[in-house]
Homo-oligomer: A and B are copies of this chain.
Amino acid sequence: MVSERIRKSVENGSQIRAMFREGKELAAKIGAENVYDFTLGNPATPAPDAFKNAVIDLAEHEDPMLLHGYTDNEGYADVRRAVAEDLNARFGSGYEGGDIIMTVGAASALNVILKTLLNPGEEVLLCCPYFTEYKNYIANHEGVSVEVKPTVELQPDLADFEKKITAKTKAVIVNTPNNPSGAIYSDATLKGMAEILERKAKETGNRIYIISDEPYRELVYDGETNPFLPDYYAHTIIAYSFSKSLSLPGERIGYLAVGKDVEDHDMMLMGAAVALRTLGFVNAPSLIQKAVARCLKEPANVAFYDHNRRLLYEGLTKLGFTCIKPQGAFYLMVQAPGGDDAEFVQHAKKYNILLVGGKGFGAPGYVRIAYCCSPDQITRSLPAFEKLAKEYGIC
């Protein structure tokens, strides 16, 4: 018999993954061109040619013993140095190679840092709406998730944020640009958050860390820039993934960055290396480490997603839907016209539109549309959305 908690997880399922599968089954039945699958954050632009060239060149010219052998748990020293220098060039930070740990994507980075930080029963704040897997990651390490309410602009409500801090709070996960809302956290939000965390540290002597989950860092629109969190709060640990910026989600590659000013810096890095090993990641895939290190200057295809964003936002708004205009990432949230997101997801499915309900993101009443698809899919889906709007009587 499997464990009780896994049985429950299977029964509850990942809504996102279940819809992704359903979409593929439906596509096999009625043709991919007739399914409007907006469920999964799977990049819709190919990895850059530079990545392909790096893989081929490495396979052809590197010593296979070095290229495919165990690396230090933290990763190749030259790769870690390259990542640190790239961050410094872009953000004026002062990372050294030793402050970087290469990970098996951001999901690995988050599990590793949570394992490193959490004593059983300690609390992690999640700002609604949030990526649904965070709760699982926290539970893996016997932590407790605590939700912080959003403002109407989908920023964290700072009064609620402060109220939710207890003697057991160990960290807060910040995700900007945000999945699922597409919001970028404002200067005021982050200054306020940092002020509260510093004040609490002084009052209680307990340091609360920010874990900044940044897979969408490069995907920002309208000339916005995404804030660099360590500039606001020194005790910020960055969890990054190359999944979205280089379109490599299947390759599982990312990193943790722990700045010199992070409290308990040395022990944190040693602990994270141990956690990477004992959790079974061991080291980030070695060939892929070397390949991404050669692609750090490759730009993300922002124009592609921006075009989709405009098409979708304008199309849906015209049909009478209430949408939150995304500032970054490739997700758009729509209010479920009746207020019931699960029902809205079911109705949409009748028109072969696959969406994800907001409840799992801590955002009931909304659905998430992942617009990392072809622009053509968006255009073709609008008549289906129109039927859906008519069903709800909003157009």
Contacts and interface: CB of A to CB of B under 8 A. Distances in A.
A275 B133 CA distance: 12
So how many copies of this chain end up in the complex?
2
B282 A107 contact: yes
A73 interface: yes
Given A2-B267, A252-B104, A285-B251, A280 B56 contact: no
B55 A271 contact: no
A2 B278 contact: no
Interface string A121-146: 01000000000010011001010000
Contacts of A236: none
Given A277-B14, A278-B133, A285-B250, A207 B73 contact: no
Contacts of A63: 46
Contacts of A6: 115-117, 271, 274-275
Contacts of A44: 65
A264 B6 CA distance: 13
Interface residues of A, number: 80
A52 interface: yes
B2 A280 contact: no
A60 to B, nearest CB: 7
Contact of A280 (B107, B122, B278, B287): B107
Interface in A21-43: 21, 40, 42-43
A154 interface: no
A111 B288 CA distance: 23
A286 interface: yes
Contact of A247 (B17, B43, B68, B247): B68
A4 interface: yes
A204 interface: no
A73 B21 CA distance: 11
A119 B3 contact: yes
B64 A52 contact: yes
Nearest to A274: B9
Interface in A176-212: 207
Interface string A141-161: 010000000000000000000
B71 A250 contact: yes
Given A52-B59, A55-B59, A280-B107, A47 B68 contact: yes
A311 interface: no
Interface in A259-307: 263-264, 267-268, 270-271, 274-275, 277-288
A284 B72 CA distance: 20
A364 interface: no
Contacts of A3: 115-119, 122, 271
Given A51-B64, A105-B282, 19 more contacts: A1-B263, A4-B119, A7-B267, A9-B271, A14-B274, A42-B70, A46-B68, A65-B247, A68-B249, A107-B282, A133-B278, A136-B277, A251-B285, A251-B286, A252-B282, A252-B283, A252-B284, A279-B279, A287-B288
Which 5 pairs across A and B sit closest by C-beta, in order of nearness?
Answer: A250-B286, A107-B280, A111-B280, A136-B278, A6-B271
12 contacts: A5-B119, A10-B274, A43-B65, A46-B63, A46-B64, A55-B287, A104-B104, A104-B252, A136-B278, A137-B278, A251-B286, A251-B287
